[in-house]
Chains A and B, each alone.
Chain A
Amino acid sequence: MGPAEGKSPISRHFGKSLSFVRKNGSIFLIYGFIILIAGMAAIYSETFRTASNMANILRQSIILGLIAIGQSMVVLTGGMDISIDMIARTVALTVATLFATYESDSSLIVPLLFLGVTVGVTLGGINGVLITRTHANPFIITFGMASILRGVNLAISTTPIRGIPSPYLRIYDAKIGIIAINVIVMGIIWYAVWLFSTRTRLGRSLFAIGGSERVAQLSAIRINWTLVSAYVLSGFFAALAGLFVLARMGVGDPGTAEGMTFQSIVAVAVGGISLYGGKGSLIGTLGGVLLLTMISNVFNLMQVNIYYQQLLLGLVVLIAVAAYRSPRSVRPG
């Protein structure tokens, strides 16, 4: 059953773009939603449609964005990182404590940034090693790690940790005009991560493992190494998120990143990355992040109760899952 012959060039082009749309349907869907909701909000709310609010949304999307990127790496392999929010928190609290201990010494900023990243990467690495050694379900291992870290974080502090040197806060505040520098940096990060996922060997390997571990193994992909890398990356981005939150709050907040694991999974799922792994795109994740951030922004502007936001998040997940259900046809022979 080959392609239909005898079609005019125009209808063939139309057919090609149609199949492009159909294949990347989830991405079109998500960005369509964003435009729709942005449009509605812009009509109803004067505050929403200001440039500074738009810039604000972009900056607000950074935290979820970083965590969602980390989560994407892991979900692509068919796993899940439940501990990602706790890793972010651990990094934030650890760095904050060290700042406080050494009397807010500004010269510590750069070393502590590196330290924070190291902590995140190490915790992620532990996740990865445990998962590859025990062959246990990643959900369970990272769930255990999340519980452990929650306890560790409580032990570090249950009250805000003061003593962050003011220059550090520039990470959040520095702007060019109304655009924050961190937004530009984040844009570069998104691009780099997308490039990584599609154009590097490690990136392709993530998809391969999620798609079929057996085939990946036969194709000379180093499974264990790749899996550990996925969790290390997750820890890396979790650390960046934690460090960013620290700059935003100005204190070490014991509630850092609360609930962000769930949000990151929503963003990833809504953005079209299959929760079974092996399929999807970082572009979709970006869409998911922007959508969720925008909804949150709109709700805040309209001063909607935070509980309703939770409700909506849940609804969005259900709708996304229903919309992306691809009928897996049974191929008889």
Chain B
Amino acid sequence: MPESQKSDTSGEVILSLRHIDKTFGGTHALADVSFDLRAGEIHALVGENGAGKSTLIKVVTGAYFPDMGTITINGSNFQSLKPEQARDLGISVVYQEFNILPELSVSENIFLGAQPRGRLGLIDNISRKRRAYELLERLGARESIEPDQLVKDLTVGERQIVEISKALSSDAHIFIMDEPSAVLPSRELDRLFSLIRTLREEGHGIIYISHRLNEIFELADRVTVLKDGEVMATKNVAETSNTELVSLMVGRELSDMYPPTDNQPGDVLLEVNGLDVDGTVFDVDFNLRVNEVLGFAGLGGSGRTTVCRALVGLADIHAGEILYKGQPVPKTPGEASRAGMVLVPEDRKMNGLVLNQTMRFNLSLPNLLDFVRAGVLRSRLEDRAIKRIVEDVQIKPQTPEILTENLSGGNQQKVVVGKWLLTNPDLVIFDEPTRGIDVGAKAEIYIRIRELTRRGVGVIMASSELLELIGMCDRILVFYEGRIAGELSRAEFSEDEIMRLATATVSTKGS
């Protein structure tokens, strides 16, 4: 729950961008952007995909040279920065994709490329481990991470700490964090936040990029909203609201996000009884009806994804039965999709798309049989179907020959959703359908989901965004440590109630 912030913004300005302008070909990526960061401040940067956040960061780190404007760091002015300069000036970025080597130890990774050396110029292991130890202690991570541990044995959150330590080791003063919470399970978020607060207390400046507005309110002192390359506003977090930020980002009201529903759930489509999966999920019972959206809530690791995967045959079912349309469920994803049951997976880059292939290739991959006549794929059939789905799902740009790796996150997700919609499914399971997607694309995906339930399809939606679940679902199952902690009907929906069940907090209200 958001705590009240002291908006202590009395620190000196350590980074200042004034009237930065950057154009790529026909795209005006940054237009007269001014931004500053103070010492001892967490300054959030928000905006839709394509709003210019990445470009802005790249200007700060020296990856891009601005066409106009000045960058001032610690009092020195620059027209542009080279990456080495940025690094020497204390600027450091933590991306979502970590630059660490799994087979090396924590301390080796922290000092990668800058190993402490002793006599004779040889690497001084003892000094390195000691310094790693000190860094980890500063960050409050010493209980869980040892300098000698191999990185591959660490959790995602711990690897992130290693990444942050790496930045600290090079005497960084300005930390840029790009969606750091996106890769973390919920239980590791608190540690990340306290770590960032530690950095703030030490007097560093942190630029925090995130799509999750509730984090901004919990963590940041100020927030800057970018839209279409322009700064819409810079505000103290205490003086603004979720609604205001969203409308600045998007020009749309938050309440319009979730399409209304008047669907009446129909017959039972899926029955799950006594399901045990993988040794991590136990005794799961539920039903899904046609035209219904059933939500799966719960903290990371509570079993939502495992159940989703088990439904399509991607996990080891140890006990229990799953009945789909009254029959035992197919055992493999292939058979499941042929029977009309499809999974839109959690990680679209790893499990959803063949990134180095075109949109056309990806969209038709599960549907090839539909386009084959006499053993050969007919382009006309393929083209027609692709054109239809690209329009339906509003993928931009509409050229099917574009490589999916060049699409924005939102459009990539639309391709994944689109390819499964083409199979005419009867049951669609969405696992984190709008993770890492800008607000505009999210709204479009919600519209698609709502359309599905008007057409006789049953939907399961597993998500860590409570607002999304509350806005879209008819019922919500809350998972806790592999079991169902409770089921909420629409009338009972509330963020508090879901969190209470998800964390197995005993209710303080009288029963």
User: Interface on A for B, CB 8 Å cutoff?
Assistant: 1-5, 7, 23, 195, 198-201, 204, 207-208, 211-212, 214-222, 274, 278-279, 330-333
Contacts and interface: CB of A to CB of B under 8 A. Distances in A.
Most chain-B Cβ atoms within 10 A of its Cβ — which of A23, A211, A330? Answer: A211
Contacts of A201: 368-369, 372, 377
B57 A212 contact: no
A278 B377 contact: no
B333 A217 contact: yes
B188 interface: no
Chain B facing A: main interface SS:
mixed
Given A278-B356, A333-B436, 17 more contacts: A1-B29, A2-B397, A5-B26, A7-B26, A199-B377, A200-B376, A200-B377, A208-B365, A217-B333, A218-B333, A219-B337, A219-B366, A220-B333, A279-B357, A333-B54, A333-B96, A333-B179
A274 B403 CA distance: 15
Contact of A219 (B96, B209, B365): B365
A199 B375 CA distance: 9
Contact of B345 (A208, A218, A330): A218
Interface string B421-445: 0000000000000001000000000
A2 B379 CA distance: 27
Nearest to A329: B405
B361 to A, nearest CB: 7
B286 interface: no
Contacts of A214: 350-351
B504 interface: no
Among all A-B residue pairs, the 10 with the closest Cβ atoms: A4-B26, A220-B334, A211-B354, A219-B366, A199-B377, A1-B27, A333-B179, A219-B365, A332-B95, A212-B354
Contact of A3 (B26, B338, B405, B436): B26
18 contacts: A2-B396, A3-B397, A200-B375, A211-B356, A212-B350, A212-B355, A214-B351, A215-B351, A215-B354, A218-B314, A218-B351, A218-B366, A219-B333, A220-B332, A220-B333, A331-B405, A332-B57, A333-B178
Nearest to A328: B405
B376 A207 contact: no
Contact of B95 (A211, A216, A330): A330
B369 A211 contact: no
Given A220-B334, A279-B356, A333 B368 contact: no
A208 B405 CA distance: 15
A35 B361 CA distance: 32
A6 B335 CA distance: 48
B114 interface: no
A208 B354 contact: yes
Interface string B201-222: 0000000010000000000000
Contact of B365 (A221, A278, A332): A221
A333 B334 CA distance: 30
Most chain-B Cβ atoms within 10 A of its Cβ — which of A7, A201, A222? Answer: A201
Chain A facing B: main interface SS:
loop
Contacts of B377: 198-201, 204
B365 A1 contact: no
B182 interface: yes
B102 to A, nearest CB: 17
Given A218-B345, A333-B96, A211 B178 contact: no
Contacts of B436: 333
Contacts, number: 107
A207 B357 contact: yes
B12 interface: no
Interface of B: 24-27, 29, 50, 54, 57, 93, 95-97, 178-179, 182, 209, 314, 332-335, 337-338, 343, 345, 350-357, 361, 364-366, 368-369, 372, 375-377, 379, 396-397, 401, 405, 409, 419, 436
A16 to B, nearest CB: 9
Nearest to A4: B26
Contacts of A199: 376-377, 379
A14 to B, nearest CB: 14
Contacts of A3: 26, 397
Given A201-B372, A221-B334, A1 B361 contact: no
B333 A278 contact: no
B148 to A, nearest CB: 29
B36 to A, nearest CB: 22
Nearest to A212: B354
Contacts of A211: 354-357
Nearest to A326: B356
Contacts of B95: 330, 332-333
Nearest to A205: B368
Contact of A212 (B24, B353, B364, B409): B353
B158 to A, nearest CB: 20
A293 B369 CA distance: 39
Nearest to A203: B377
A330 B57 CA distance: 14
Nearest to A3: B397
A209 to B, nearest CB: 9
A39 B351 CA distance: 48
A4 B333 CA distance: 41
A331 to B, nearest CB: 8
Nearest to A213: B354
A148 B371 CA distance: 42
Most chain-A Cβ atoms within 10 A of its Cβ — which of B338, B356, B375? Answer: B356
Contacts of A207: 354, 357, 361
Contacts of B338: 220
A183 to B, nearest CB: 25
